[in-house]
Structure 1
């Protein structure tokens, strides 16, 4: 059985935990269980209910009205929302539901259906990246069960690679970026995400991939002379020393500007080398690339 904390519900639905607690007191659609230490936990069905309620409430339905609906009625109302943004958010919710229930065929059918109607270029920013941001894969990896993560990320990785291969843009920045993940980092979705964004902005990409020794990064950078380097750290190995990595970056490739994003940048408090810049959120990454 899937069990979710109130923080999970907040992360996945966008509804603050304080609001969820108020809903529990006033309405009937949530009935959490409690652990022996009195901590709330919610079922997968309750999570899906909150996703639907959050969507309907955002697009004009009063909570008191939603409270009188059955789950089937909620589902019917979400399908009837005709705003484009609402439909995108509904599909993201459905992807989350498929992930929770491990319905991988349905998950891929949803993604492929969107690709068929909108194209891969719109599918990536409209539903794939919002989905990844909601479940935390781009920045943190503890929002969902690791088994669920592996199953859906393998599907999404294929779609991202397809998007990268088919991406065409009239833009040409005459800039080159070298993308890499350091030794101990194997989560490629974040760096593939940036690959797509850079390519869509007309930036030439040299992609080294995951788990790359810094000496190899130095060799390629010295040979190819990119305008800057980029790395995204999602969930590195336990023995990964972020401070040591930054010091080595400064010592080995001081002449190159290096952009680093991901979860580790959000908590790092020590001095950052002069040739390294942190991007601490998805919005900072997209704003940086959009401004090139």
Structure 2
């Protein structure tokens, strides 16, 4: 990733021109740091170099050049996806590989275009379960094995997590269903399963307050003190070693908030199926979640 200063020096394009191309013509969309500074990918660099060539060497206006660039990239994307053939599983695997490779190389715009096209082809359920979640799992494994850098792991996780977050506000909320607080406890960094399960709850009309990974206990207590409408806690743990802490946390939360229901899941609980803390241990495969939801949340709704 490159700063705007580096891009200016590399391409000999004034920073004011770069900003105009981005803001007025949407030529490229760089990433942003937490402080708001632009970060350009190699893909952005190549696009800007091509645009400069079109405007300076070919005499084309920047607005026309941007239209040509977008048309060219759309054509390349369609040709790339049209090459996917074979069984549905083969198609998912090839789509996953293409998205993984583009994200691995920090080509965010191309990856988002592939994801959008995948949603249009397969729908969001299949894309999440068959493509995007496997990408997240693969990059996590690559990071643990040292074949992906911390920057690549963070970038890919951030990009795909944002696509999942976007769907949280698509589905209507049914007020008669209990409100859920979803989090991973302190020390748990992996939130993929929690994200997916929270999205499933939202699809079924449940309002989910999502806190994400590595949530400190005091933050949970503070949230519950402010949000009296929350009646269900959902936590996810991949590390079996965190189960004893989770058992104590659940007990403390139930003592502080009588009547609170608790759902737990994740690989940690799969390895500890006899855990006595949660009211429900969610270890069913995702295709069985709907049956589980209909049974459990119908009961919670009747006690509202």
Once the two structures are superposed, residues 40-59 of structure 1 have per-residue CA deviations (whole angstroms, 9 ceiling, x without a partner) of: xxxxxxxxxxxxxxxxxxxx
Shift of residue 128, structure 1, vs aligned partner? 2.7
1:277 to 271, 277, 280: 280
Q: Give the whole-Å Cα distance in 1 for the aligned partners of 2:237 and 2:172.
A: 27
Q: Give the whole-Å Cα distance in 2 for the aligned partners of 1:278 and 1:131.
A: 26
Task: Decide whether aligned partners of structure 1 residues 211 and 105 sit closer, same or farther in structure 2, where only a CA change above 3 A counts.
Answer: same
Task: Decide whether aligned partners of structure 1 residues 235 and 100 sit closer, same or farther in structure 2, where only a CA change above 3 A counts.
Answer: farther
Which residue of the partner structure matches residue 221 of structure 2? 218
Q: Aligned with 1:241: secondary structure?
A: helix
Q: Does 1:250 align with 2:251?
A: yes
Alignment of 1:101-112 (within 5 A): 104-112=108-116
Q: Aligned with 1:129: secondary structure?
A: helix
Tell me if the contact between 1:179 and 1:231 (Cα under 8 Å) persists in the aligned partners. yes
Once the two structures are superposed, residues 241-292 of structure 1 have per-residue CA deviations (whole angstroms, 9 ceiling, x without a partner) of: 32122123113325322111112112226x5225443223542773434654
Structure number having the greater helix percentage:
2
Shift of residue 159, structure 1, vs aligned partner? 0.9
Q: Does 1:176 align with 2:176?
A: no
Once the two structures are superposed, residues 75-108 of structure 1 have per-residue CA deviations (whole angstroms, 9 ceiling, x without a partner) of: 9996344x76764454234334545666555433
Normalising by structure 2, we get a TM-score of 0.54
Which residue of the partner structure matches residue 130 of structure 1? 130
Which residue of the partner structure matches residue 84 of structure 2? 79
Q: Does 1:203 align with 2:202?
A: no
Which residue of the partner structure matches residue 142 of structure 1? 141
- Please identify the structure whose Cα radius of gyration is greater: 2
Tell me if the contact between 1:182 and 1:210 (Cα under 8 Å) persists in the aligned partners. yes
Tell me if the contact between 1:234 and 1:264 (Cα under 8 Å) persists in the aligned partners. yes
Once the two structures are superposed, residues 105-159 of structure 1 have per-residue CA deviations (whole angstroms, 9 ceiling, x without a partner) of: 54333113334x369xx33x22133224435639x94366453433321110121
Q: Give the whole-Å Cα distance in 2 for the aligned partners of 1:266 and 1:289.
A: 18
For structure 1, which runs of at least 5 residues remain unmatched after alignment? 1-74
For structure 2, which runs of at least 5 residues remain unmatched after alignment? 1-79, 298-304
Q: Give the whole-Å Cα distance in 2 for the aligned partners of 1:245 and 1:251.
A: 10
Q: Aligned with 2:137: secondary structure?
A: coil
Q: Give the whole-Å Cα distance in 1 for the aligned partners of 2:279 and 2:148.
A: 31
Q: Aligned with 1:79: secondary structure?
A: coil
Task: Decide whether aligned partners of structure 1 residues 131 and 77 sit closer, same or farther in structure 2, where only a CA change above 3 A counts.
Answer: closer
Which residue of the partner structure matches residue 241 of structure 1? 242
Q: Larger RCO: Structure 1 or Structure 2 (Cα < 8 Å, ≥ 6 residues apart)?
A: 1
